[in-house]
Amino acid sequence: MKNKIIITGGTGYIGSHTAVEFINEGFEVIIVDNLSNSDISVLDSIKSITGVKPTFENIDLTDKNKTSIFFESNKDAVGLINFAAFKAVGESVKMPLQYYHNNLNILLNVLEGMNRFGIRNLIFSSSATVYGLPDCFPLNENSTTKRPTSPYGNTKKIGEEIIEDFSKASINFKAISLRYFNPIGAHSSGNLGETPTGIPNNLMPFITQTALGLRDELKIFGNDYKTKDGTAVRDYIHVVDLAKAHVLALQRLIRNEVLENFEIFNIGTGIGYSVLDVIASFEKTTKQKLNYSFASKREGDVPILYASTSKAKEELNWNPILTLDDMTESSWEWEKKRNS
């Protein structure tokens, strides 16, 4: 019999890529999502890649009662990956209560459901944002966490603290928090990718939409950072490599290979690329000329952010293999396909 796993937020960007990797590894996948930031057609896209359409439940996970009923009928699951959350940094600054309400109630309801019905293994989607404004690099898992610059980021920091407390109080429960750096890219089939609503806040979709003529030009936020070319440096990670890290992390929990009941791993490549590096890669791989200009720094942006990924490499046996060129090229293929 297949191992059954629950993926909350599984029709979203990272969740859908992760569903594909779990199905490919022989797991039975149950997706729970309220489609507040994703589309039901993603299920067919997953089927087009894997041959399997995952079971889907449309549930708002802030609804305690419905979430509990869902857990009761899926108590044979071996684990849960919690992607479901609101994720727009800027929006969270304007609507903090909605962000705290959604992201923290989802987590509490999921933990209560797991606790009540005996599901022991949790993977939590965290973020490099928990390091706040860091002062030294590369960031490893023992680097000091600081208050994140946005309410969204704070839901990740508080979320980790809630999980850590619960893992100490519960004998059987184990969790791994994966701190993503900058996920970009799309599935090589061209059938899955990121679908931001409205004007994208993030660099990669803004680049692909500008190249396609949907936006006039990319504004590069800041060109006098103390970096090699003055533009800000980030650790971009291909979404498919990121998805594979979830499979390895859940297997570590299932096989009880953990050293502690709550573990944390950075998930990035460990390589910092500037905004101009990303544009150069995009122009090279797609043969597109990108319209861009320099603008002032974006409030809250840090000059440099990249990970030490040695813990994930050594303990999870996870090695990202896809390059920046793979990331920019696949993002472009996805953007063209979804607008065709």
Question: Catalytic amino acids?
Answer: 152
Q: Which amino acid is at 180?
A: Y
* Two tokens, residue 219: 């504004």
Q: Are 253 and 176 in contact (CB under 8 A)?
A: yes
Cβ at position 138, least distance to ligand UDP in Å: 15
Picking from 74, 57, 72, the residue whose alpha carbon sits closest to that of residue 3 is: 74
- Helices 275-286 and 324-338: crossing angle in degrees, nearest 10, is 60
CB nearer ligand NAD, residue 57 or residue 223:
57
CA torsion sign for 266, 272, 275, 280 is: negative
CA torsion sign for 107, 112, 117, 122 is: positive
Which of ligand NAD, ligand UDP, none binds 298 (CB below 5-8 Å, type-dependent)?
A: ligand UDP
Cβ at position 227, least distance to ligand UDP in Å: 10
According to the binding rule CB under 6 A, does residue 91 interact with ligand UDP?
no
Tokens 């590894």: give the residue: 25
Separation between Cα atoms, residue 119 and residue 8, nearest integer Å? 14
Of 250-289, binders to ligand NAD (CB under 6 A) are none
CB nearer ligand NAD, residue 61 or residue 218:
61
Q: Which amino acid is at 195?
A: T
Cβ at position 8, least distance to ligand NAD in Å: 6
Of 155-194, binders to ligand NAD (CB under 6 A) are 180, 183
CB nearer ligand NAD, residue 19 or residue 220:
19
Out of 105, 202, 209, 323, the only residue in the binding site for ligand UDP (CB under 6 A) is 202
Q: Judge residue 189's burial from the number of C-beta atoms within 10 Å of its C-beta, 0-12 exposed, 13-18 middle, 19 or more buried.
A: middle
According to the binding rule CB under 6 A, does residue 125 interact with ligand NAD?
yes
Out of 47, 53, 66, 219, the only residue in the binding site for ligand UDP (CB under 6 A) is 219
Q: How far is CA 169 from CA 43, 91, 110, 165, in A?
A: 37, 34, 16, 6
Which of ligand UDP, ligand NAD, none binds 102 (CB below 5-8 Å, type-dependent)?
A: ligand NAD
Cβ at position 75, least distance to ligand NAD in Å: 19
SS3 96: helix
Out of 120, 174, 234, 252, the only residue in the binding site for ligand UDP (CB under 6 A) is 234
Q: Which residue ranges make up the site for ligand NAD (CB under 6 A)?
A: 9, 11-15, 33-38, 60-62, 83-87, 102, 106, 125, 127, 180, 183
